[in-house]
Structure 1
Amino acid sequence: MSDQSSTSGYALLRNPRLNKGSAFSEEERRTYGLEGLLPPVPTTLSLQVARIHAELGNLDSDLQKYLLLSDLQARNETLFYAVLMSDPATFMPLVYTPTVGEACQKFDHIFRAARGIYLPITARGRLKGLLGNWPMKDIRFIVVTDGERILGLGDLGVGGMGIPIGKLSLYTACAGVPPEYCLPVTLDVGTNNESLLEDPLYLGLRQNRVRGADYMAFIDEFVQAAQVLYPKCCIQWEDFANISAVPILETYRDQVCTYNDDIQGTAAVALAGMYGALRISGQKLTDQRFLFLGGGSAATGIAELISQAMALEGLDIAAARARNALFDVNGLMVKSRTDLAGFQKPFAVNHAPISTFVEAVRALRPTGIIGVSTVPKLFNQQVIEAMAEINERPIIFPYSNPTSRSECTAEEAYRWSQGRAIFASGSPFGPVEIAGQTFVPGQGNNVYIFPAMGMAVFATEATRVTEEMFIVAAKAVAEQVTDKSLATGLIYPPQSQIFEASLHVAVRVAEYVFEKKLARVERPADIAKLIASRVYHPAYAA
């Protein structure tokens, strides 16, 4: 309670990091001038958690539950994380996907307490000052967005702030990263969403998005300010459009501790799914061929990480990339196309143009298809049946989210393949029964990767996040899937065990960090013990 020595009375009840609400003891109430400001009988944290569970149970919609939890986070952070960590599998969909998508869309209409830092491009030249207004001075993680490509929902401007807030909540809830080291940031460079620009309640800059040199100068000022203020900070880029995400990552990945979750986190969770799927099919990674629906940074990120993993298993990198093909709105990405971006060209194939996805499946005969298009229902019956004709155990991964954007449902994949599909999706689906057999769909959610990566970076104070760290993380996720889970088709650890799974992944990544001499702290004799010692547990200070 030493932190409260300078905070007392009504102000203490309005400090989310120090507030205990009804759990302040009688002695604390006398000491800190709280008598009369609370109902007279103190309660416990566990009873407070039970009360929130009951409140949530009385609400009709997930958005209402999201808002209740957001309000709780704004007034009592310890209780908020105690609730989340009491049942992470239940609360992840409420504080993040899919509910956060609706919350971001309605951000300006449901805005309550401000959280995080907003940096408008109109403040260029002053970003260090604005960033320094955050009260905590030892920040280890910034999750930042510019709001242009929020999930599969597009340009939501400052409404995208829900994404950094939600991501950082999961850093804590799923891997124990202490919340005081986390800072959500939104970069406001304008929006091209006309409905937002015309909405009188919109809270962001009323101008079209800034592009080009001015945009990159703004990004650079932000990165440099973060480095000066928070020299041990890792920057996670989130939900930037391809035209921004790829050059930003390429510019800074070798300069500072940084990564892009949409590119590298998505790639790692997809690769983890591959490793799990191969345990079912009994095949080798180097024998696989993948066809991606979508040709953006998520698709190329997955394709590149798979290629790097294939290379580690002995395949030439060019040959590995040739096993990963992309299909976008203009058809199969072939070498003769003139509209390909630089980051797409390594995956262009020598083939005649193909205009429909099912034709591409039949021509290329992939062992797996991966959907990152954000366009629903494109893995239709023809596509799934074609995959099932070619493969005994076709890999079907519709990774787009939220649920409304999924390329197919779990039931469609299982039913159209006669129960032979190895399935994982970006959004949650319930169990499916086909011919008396129950299948449990896996959710290829980045939550298996980024919280664990965060804990590894936090514990080791890593100077960089490298590509191979994501391969290590993917293998660490897959090695935790039990034979019993595989028998039901589940290729990821159960989300009910996400905390234990994340710490296992964190240990594996931390081992790699120490091995490659990327740590700022000395290597301990027991790395698992180091990780455990850094874990946040929601409990009120004595």
Structure 2
Amino acid sequence: MGISVGKLELYTALGRIDPQYALPVTLDVGTNNEKLLNDPLYIGIREKRMTGEEYEDFVDEFIDAVTETWSHKTLVHFEDFSTVHAFRFLDKYQNCYTFINDDVQGTASTVLSGFLVIEKITKKPLNEHVFLFAGAGSAATGTADLLVKELIQRGLEKDEAVKNIYLCDEKGLVTKDRPDMLERLKPLAKDTSMAIKSVAECVEKLKPSILVGATGVGGIFTEQILQNMAKNHEKPGIIALSNPTDKSECTAEQAYKHTEGLAFTMEERQILGVHGLWPCSYRTIHDQLYAVMANFNARSDNIGRFTYLLSLSRRHQRLFFRFLREHLEKVMPIVYTPTVADVVNAYGLLFRDPTGLYVTIFDRGHIIDVLKNWRAEKQVRAVCVSDGGRVLGLGDMGASSMGICVGKMALYTALGGVPPNQLLPIALDVGTDNEELLNDPLYVGARTKRVQGDEYEEFVQEFVDAVLECFGPNTCIHFEDFATPNAFKFLEKYQRSFCCFNDDIQGTGAMSLAGFFNVERVVQRKLEDHVFLFAGIGSACLGIANMLLSELKRRGLKQKDACQNIYMINEHGLLNDALPGCVNEARKFAKPLDCVKLDEAVEQLKPSILVGGSSVRGLFTEEVLRLMAKYNERPVIFALSNPTNKAECTAEQAYQYTEGRAIFCGGSPFPPVTYNGKRLQPGQANNCLIYPGLALGAISARASYLPNEVFSVAASTIAKFTSEENLNSGNMYPSMRDANEVSFHVGVSVAEYLIENDISNLRPLPENICEYMKNRQYSLDYGKSLPETWTFPHFPVSYQK
């Protein structure tokens, strides 16, 4: 009765309806609330709630009595009926009497007005928003129902109107397999394949732009949920409807802040005995991220930004990874290519504190002792190791290659979610043949010529044995920037012996293959019908060619036929049996042709896909690019050499000399180009979409080894995540803003393949590998600084007089 009285008071106060025309009524049909039934002050009928036909007959009699006593046009306002009865009576009486249900229709109208305001603020029409209703009761279902009607009125078909509207209650996402579902819910229910168990998981996976709470569960919009809403959308809509205030899904303050602070609160400072060690200002995570960005932007060059981030990672690791993930497109070029090349060049000058392990040729016989010095020895699950033999396009960089390993492993965590304490960057210092380094007083490595031959191979073998003994037989070893002959030698030797991979060969191959898959979609021409010309016969080009060869053989081609349209050329000319200095791995691609210059090869072979891995700046000249455009409607140009100043051509050159028809991809990021009024978006074949997820999958599944097929699986996953928008603009890869999601799904695909093919040592197998992996990822949120407390009973003591 209290609710009815309050509502009718507002009829008068706001609607100016004469109070003599308003009558509050309570239908007392009993209650199932035991507390009320046992309350001596309860004023209602002390019986269990009436149900079924008896209840409905009673309500019918009440409606008939109202209309007979006062008029058929008397407004009957239903309030606070259970969801089932609310919709049942609404459907039954709406077209017969002057009738409303405020929980369903009133709430829906109010929320829809909020949606219309959000539409104006975000400058995004309702049909482009994704709606998630937390709750599937009267308010949520009624609002969703009215929203569908609004979208249909705007010209959408019903299927389109319900497509981006989701409901989630305590059982999870509302799906079509639910028993005893309300008729009103059925059009909104989703396919059973979308098995999502919680609001938090819905927010993470569905990325709603508008979140509506109608659960009656106070605080259900947690820090993580609000944080994810803010991460996914610049202006997320948060509507917390539940009453009273203590039942609200979140407060306005929480919604505005999106997250709690990561800094110590005043209470924590006092209890932990650190009060006074910081200024009194309390910073939230967004305050801290703002300060990091201000410091980042204040640096005058990219080296300065790199050193600042390196310092941040050491003193505030979680904040560093949070900053990297949230500003990936801006920060990636600093921690990875192209800036990492400058870091390697200046490594001796920049060196401050060790960020990994340095194992030198002089540690032979004691490598395992060196590994045991690592502070997190018992937790290491993956190592990234380089001997600096061929770093990017820089050549022999010796121990300075540590910078590459550190950058790679930062992305293991930022993108793959691999906990940083499970990762170890290692430089194998076997000397260097780089005279400039040997004569540099700031060089941090061994000042000796690079060790070769049996001594070198025995050293690497001892290192591998020590890693597997020290950290465990399922440790993943990521080989990075070894010289081409050594890279192939160790890959062939170790690939099926333990869990290892070579990113320069297999990672680059898989990343390029993902791009090729999307080229097929765009140009409507199968890979087996393309002609490939690789400019370069090093690790990258051979890795790509081998991955392509495996894919063509998987499609049914014999090796000879698969190799027929794959050509390779370097500074000495087209690869044939007489070409000097080539590794054996390249011989299968040799052709009985003589051709010295790249433009001659393009003229003669008429390739449809031109891939650069030469580290020769400007190799793809105007003439070469014009020839590619002459023979192809959509010439495909992959200029993959890193860093940017080693690229075979720029995106602008590729578009300019092909009349804007090129599909261009670089190894480093290139900005968008506008050609004849059309915005063209270069792709980036960045291995960071491969190796973080690959490592996550391998570690999670405890892989025995990594067959080539897992790289095809990874490539296929990446290709599937590329949006139509990207493909239409010429970008054959997912956007970097989606790199975290892509990496996780690469990891899941790899783990599933390993488990299905019995290459996994994970026991017992989890019921849901996706959830298993997600639960083991590194959290970017702070845990509690204070220990849990709990109540404890008081035991009074009785004293005898």
State the TM-score bracket (shorter-chain normalisation).
Answer: over 0.9
* Residues 93-143 of structure 1: per-residue CA shift (max 9 Å, x gap): 111111111011001011112110000111111110101111111211100
Q: What's the offset of the Cα at 1:163?
A: 0.4
* Residues 413-450 of structure 1: per-residue CA shift (max 9 Å, x gap): 11111111111110111111111111000001101111
% identical equivalent positions? 40
Indicate which of 463, 484, 508 corresponds to 1:242.
484
Is 1:462 the counterpart of 2:708? The answer is no
Q: What's the offset of the Cα at 1:32?
A: 4.7
The 1-side partners of 2:262 and 2:578 are apart by 68
Indicate which of 282, 285, 289 corresponds to 1:45.
285
Indicate which of 353, 361, 378 corresponds to 1:113.
353
Is 1:449 the counterpart of 2:690? The answer is yes
Q: Corresponding residue for 1:337?
A: 579
Is 1:532 the counterpart of 2:777? The answer is no
- Give the aligned residue type for 1:485: N
Is 1:96 the counterpart of 2:336? The answer is yes
Is 1:274 the counterpart of 2:516? The answer is yes
- Give the aligned residue type for 1:161: M
Contact 1:268 1:474 in 2 (8 A): yes
Q: Corresponding residue for 1:375?
A: 616
* Residues 43-99 of structure 1: per-residue CA shift (max 9 Å, x gap): 333322221011112222111110000011111211111111112222111111111
The 1-side partners of 2:630 and 2:319 are apart by 52
The 2-side partners of 1:67 and 1:221 are apart by 34
Q: Corresponding residue for 2:181?
A: none
Q: Corresponding residue for 1:66?
A: 306
The 2-side partners of 1:22 and 1:397 are apart by 43
Q: Secondary structure at the match of 1:122?
A: helix
* Residues 373-415 of structure 1: per-residue CA shift (max 9 Å, x gap): 0111001111111111111111100000110000000011111
Q: Corresponding residue for 2:432?
A: 191
Indicate which of 399, 402, 414 corresponds to 1:161.
402
The 2-side partners of 1:221 and 1:390 are apart by 52
Q: What's the offset of the Cα at 1:41?
A: 4.2
The 2-side partners of 1:71 and 1:488 are apart by 38
Q: Corresponding residue for 1:322?
A: 564
Contact 2:572 2:579 in 1 (8 A): no
Q: Corresponding residue for 1:15?
A: none
Q: Secondary structure at the match of 1:273?
A: helix
Indicate which of 415, 418, 422 corresponds to 1:181.
422
The 1-side partners of 2:271 and 2:425 are apart by 34
Indicate which of 150, 170, 173 corresponds to 2:391.
150
Q: More deviation in 120-129 or 531-540?
A: 531-540
Q: Corresponding residue for 2:748?
A: 507
Using structure 2 for the length normalisation, give the TM-score: 0.64
- Give the aligned residue type for 2:668: S
Q: Corresponding residue for 2:463?
A: 222
Indicate which of 392, 405, 408 corresponds to 2:646.
405
Q: Corresponding residue for 2:413?
A: 172
Indicate which of 423, 432, 446 corresponds to 1:205.
446
Q: Corresponding residue for 2:736?
A: 495
The 1-side partners of 2:451 and 2:267 are apart by 55
Is 1:299 the counterpart of 2:541? The answer is yes
The 2-side partners of 1:511 and 1:518 are apart by 10
Q: Secondary structure at the match of 2:426?
A: strand
The 2-side partners of 1:424 and 1:527 are apart by 33
Using structure 1 for the length normalisation, give the TM-score: 0.93
Is 1:422 the counterpart of 2:676? The answer is no
- Give the aligned residue type for 2:776: R
Is 1:262 the counterpart of 2:504? The answer is yes
Q: What's the offset of the Cα at 1:35?
A: 3.8
The 1-side partners of 2:590 and 2:621 are apart by 24
- The alignment of Structure 1 onto Structure 2 pairs a total of residues equal to 521
Q: Secondary structure at the match of 1:23?
A: coil
Q: Corresponding residue for 1:310?
A: 552
The 2-side partners of 1:72 and 1:322 are apart by 51
The 2-side partners of 1:149 and 1:338 are apart by 19
Contact 2:573 2:579 in 1 (8 A): no
Is 1:80 the counterpart of 2:305? The answer is no
The 2-side partners of 1:138 and 1:22 are apart by 25
Is 1:54 the counterpart of 2:301? The answer is no
Is 1:483 the counterpart of 2:694? The answer is no
Structure 1 residues 199 and 384, CA gap change in structure 2 (3 angstroms): same
Contact 1:144 1:164 in 2 (8 A): yes
Asked which structure has the greater RCO (Cα within 8 Å, sep 6+), the reply is 1
Contact 1:22 1:39 in 2 (8 A): no
Structure 1 residues 364 and 523, CA gap change in structure 2 (3 angstroms): farther
Q: Corresponding residue for 1:350?
A: 592
Q: Secondary structure at the match of 1:334?
A: coil
The 2-side partners of 1:187 and 1:36 are apart by 45
Q: What's the offset of the Cα at 1:249?
A: 1.2
Q: Corresponding residue for 1:364?
A: 605
* Residues 509-528 of structure 1: per-residue CA shift (max 9 Å, x gap): 22211111111224433332
Q: What's the offset of the Cα at 1:34?
A: 3.0
The 1-side partners of 2:541 and 2:301 are apart by 33
Q: Secondary structure at the match of 1:538?
A: coil
Q: More deviation in 473-482 or 41-50?
A: 41-50
Contact 2:485 2:583 in 1 (8 A): no
The 1-side partners of 2:303 and 2:579 are apart by 44
Q: Secondary structure at the match of 1:344?
A: helix
The 1-side partners of 2:451 and 2:269 are apart by 51
Contact 2:262 2:782 in 1 (8 A): no
The 1-side partners of 2:639 and 2:690 are apart by 18
Is 1:135 the counterpart of 2:359? The answer is no
Contact 1:463 1:518 in 2 (8 A): yes
Q: Secondary structure at the match of 2:379?
A: coil
- Give the aligned residue type for 1:480: F
- Higher-Rg member (1/2): 2
Contact 2:510 2:690 in 1 (8 A): yes
The 2-side partners of 1:240 and 1:36 are apart by 51
Q: Secondary structure at the match of 1:235?
A: strand
Contact 1:74 1:113 in 2 (8 A): no
- Give the aligned residue type for 2:701: T
Q: What's the offset of the Cα at 1:233?
A: 1.0
Q: Corresponding residue for 1:124?
A: 364
Q: Which runs of 5+ in 2 are unaligned?
A: 1-260, 785-801
Q: What's the offset of the Cα at 1:22?
A: 8.3
Q: Corresponding residue for 1:13?
A: none
Contact 1:89 1:498 in 2 (8 A): no
The 2-side partners of 1:251 and 1:300 are apart by 17
Q: Corresponding residue for 2:757?
A: 516
The 1-side partners of 2:731 and 2:418 are apart by 27
Q: Corresponding residue for 2:230?
A: none
Q: What's the offset of the Cα at 1:29?
A: 3.6
